[in-house]
Structure 1
């Protein structure tokens, strides 16, 4: 009964769900955000600070914070964590050299008190590039199967074409009434 009430409440109240989009620089975070918003590719430059946009999917409102991923900015990510329901971690599937840094950042976030109830969507971006790692390879390297206290999902995608992005949003939308 509680789940039904929560879904009805969300439907009638158009509750906003806070999302942070994180990942290393050049992973495709901003491209994904604007693909959600305008369904087209926009020319981006490295994000200093953050971009914020509201995305509506099936009456579900997501307030998405795209946070800069340069090394000098990552220490400030935690200032965005308060009231976050979803983490979108964007991984550059061609960047094998820095996957260990992505893993460190992911587990640092998951250990943070303000994110203890956050669900995690991992986008394995740049799947259109020959020789990229598959979502399964990335999942294995990040040891996602060891994450027991956060719902998570990994989704192959290509930010430039939008392929795979809707499936990730669908997973998030389905989770909004579950909390």
Structure 2
């Protein structure tokens, strides 16, 4: 069972996904409002997102290279929501993303933790629809878990605030 949090402590949101899915770009965009050049994350980045006067989320952007994924479970102790990001314009990597998500969600520490899937790079002409992404990731198999999927563009800033407002609502429902 997860640690009880005081209501004043920000929720701990883990932002995970394969490398090059846009996690660091998303975090930087949320925190600064700017698009910044990012390099592959070795380890993690962390920032606190103030959605409004009452809602504060600590967002952990965890590196997604295959060598880093074995360490993902070490970041799950106080996780109150999982945001799993995929590059919706990279259909060839969907099987790898599906496998990584399935392995991650099998972790005991994530039992009952809500899941938000972000289908990033929706601004690209060859991006898949959220229905296609949901099918590729086999999201319907997670019937015991509260989950949502949203399309977004970290570069353009589209759908980011809405996604994290939904994450906050999911945390309070779970």
- Range class of TM-score, shorter chain: over 0.9
How far the C-alpha of 1:175 sits from its partner, in A, is: 2.2
TM-score (norm 1): 0.90
Report matched runs for 1:1-179 at 5 Å. Answer: 13-58=7-52, 59-179=54-174
Measured against aligned partners, the alpha-carbon deviations of 1:81-134 in whole angstroms (never above 9, x if no partner) come to 112011111100111111111101111111100110211111100011111111
SS at match of 1:127: coil
Runs of 4+ with deviation above 6 angstroms: none
CA distance, structure 2, for counterparts of residue 115 and residue 84 of structure 1:
7
SS at match of 2:172: coil
CA distance, structure 2, for counterparts of residue 150 and residue 39 of structure 1:
31
Output the aligned Cα RMSD.
1.4
Aligned residues: 169
Q: Look at both structures and tell me which one has the larger radius of gyration over its CA atoms.
A: 1
Contact 1:20 1:86 in 2 (8 A): yes
Structure 1: runs of 5 or more not aligned:
1-8
Structure with the larger helix share: 1
